[in-house]
Every structure is written in C-alpha cells, then in structure tokens.
A = this chain, B = another copy of it.
C-alpha cells in the first residue's frame, strides 16, 4: 500500500495523531496497544460506534475538516441521546489513494477544533490502507451516573413526542449540494449545507433531560424522524402519531417545502438530523419548555405515543385535518 504522498503509519501517528491524544493520559500517547481508562465511581460507561464510507455517508470532495467533525459529532450525538458526558474516542482510518498529507492535516485540524469544543480527546485507533473508498470508524466513550442513561424502550402510551432544533435541514442541504433546490437563495442554500456538514450534537439538552428525569425514551434522529420514532415505538411496544404542521422547520426548510410539498419525504425520512427525539408525559411539558428556554434551544412537541394495536413501531404522519400522509419511505436505507 505504498503511497508517496503521505508519511508512513508511525510517522503519521507521531506527527498528526499523537498531538490529538496529548491531553488524554488514557491514550498512553498512542504508543501502546490500547487505551487504559479509569472509570469514575458511580458512573457507567456508554460506548457507541459508527462507520462512514466515502460516497455513502459523505461526499469524497467534502472538506476534510468537516468530514472529521461530522464523524465525531455523529458519535457525540449518540452519547447525547443517552444523557452521557463524552470522555473520548477511538478512530480507525482506512485511507485510500486520495488521502494525501494535506488532507490529513486538514482532517486533524477539524478533529482538534471539535475536541476543544466538546472537551474530548483521541484515545487510540488504527490506520490502514485500502484500495477502496476512504472508510472511517469512530468508537466514542462517555459516562453517565449508574442506572440513569436514557433508553429507547421507556416510552409510555400518551407520552408527548418532542424534538430539538429543526428537521430536514441536513437532507435538504445534501439535495442542494447535488444541484437541487434551485428556488432557494444562496444564503438559504449555505445554511442547509452547513447543517448537512456540521451536525450539532445536543449534549447539553441530553444531559439536562437525563439529570432532570423529564424524558422517558430518547434517541437521536439519524435515520430520519419516522424511522427513529419507529425505533422508540418498537422498543417500547407502542405506535406514534406526528402532526405535520407541528414539525419544526428552519426558514430555509420551510421555504423549500413551500416551493415543493413533495420534500416532506426528505424532511421526515431523509435522516442525519442529529436532533434529540424524546418522549415525556404531558405534565412535563412546561418544565421542558423552561429547560429549552434556559438552553436557548428550540424544543417542540410534535405528536404522541399510543398503544401499538398490534403494530409496534407504526408511525403515522397526519395533515392539518388529521388525515394520514402517505410516505414512500420511512428513513435512510443502510443497504
């Protein structure tokens, strides 16, 4: 796998990856076979992993610093959904021939920026060559007080369904990047593309929901609203209803939907929103609104959980007259 355009593995580690681990004693300077973590008393460890493949999960010509940050943030979003505080991450990189030293410099700069922003460090990893597409895998670790992690399976019938931020921006941003949504202004397009490239893991919200006990079930919207609410339903043996008019949209998202009502599919099933989706009792609604205001983050009730009636995981999207909107797909297809 010789590649004259970049240094060998050990030089790469010394020059670019070891500085990302310098502030993290558990990483042993990346000079060892493994990281060694000392869990804090009373804390449980939350561990999650995600793989990203060029042309499947990001565009090969996406800026490398944004690929790095998106990769890290997707995993931080999983920790946010559990109410966990992030500790660090291991990263496995299969570099293809397109990855040269300049790419790695930019990639590591993106990691460094987000490490500072989210208070995490590189714990370890592996770097290999691949004849195929660039493939990146992150395993993120976080901690949560024992027994307090939020789960998917804790929703109850009549819970309200809440979502943070706005939905659909990422899927619409990808459409714009691919040359679509021409009715939008360049500012609107840039906003959506930024939302596609740079998810905002809702760590503070997740932490506050865990600490307050306000949320019952929670997850982050990665596959798409309908599919992910379906996951809560499947795990909790419930069905759910969502009202289209309540879905929180950005101004750019609302403009796009005005121009083309068929984009509702992208908004509810496009995926990669990385917003928190959670259920809570109706009695908690005022406290959740106060929490959202304190965090300066939009949190919107969009529907409710219902008995499964033999169809656990069923999710109906209703129009303003309460009629079901037919959807061709529920979410991102992994294969």
Q: Which of B3, B126, B333 makes the CB contact (< 8 A) with A335?
A: B3
> In this complex, what residue of B is CB-closest to A219?
B33
Q: Which of B34, B79, B146 makes the CB contact (< 8 A) with A38?
A: B146
Copies held by the complex: 2
Q: Which residues of B contact A334 (CB under 8 A)?
A: 1, 8-9, 127-129
**A74-109 contact mask (Cβ, 8 Å, vs B): 1 or 0:** 000011011010000011111110000000000000
Q: Which residues of B contact A51 (CB under 8 A)?
A: 92-94, 126, 128, 135, 137
- CB-CB under 8 A for A53 and B8, given A37-B45, A137-B137, A152-B33: no
> Does A44 contact B33, Cβ atoms closer than 8 Å?
no
Residues of A within 8 A of B (CB): 1-3, 6, 8-9, 28, 31-39, 41, 44-53, 55-57, 78-79, 81-82, 84, 90-96, 123-133, 135, 137, 139, 141, 144, 146, 149, 151-153, 219-220, 231, 234-235, 333-335
Q: Which residues of B contact A95 (CB under 8 A)?
A: 335
> Does A33 contact B78, Cβ atoms closer than 8 Å?
yes
* A199–chain B nearest beta-carbon distance, Å: 14
* A275–chain B nearest beta-carbon distance, Å: 13
Q: Which of B78, B132, B220, B235 makes the CB contact (< 8 A) with A135?
A: B132
> Does B32 contact A152, Cβ atoms closer than 8 Å?
yes
8 closest residue pairs by CB, A with B = A132-B132, A34-B48, A9-B334, A39-B39, A137-B137, A51-B92, A139-B139, A33-B78
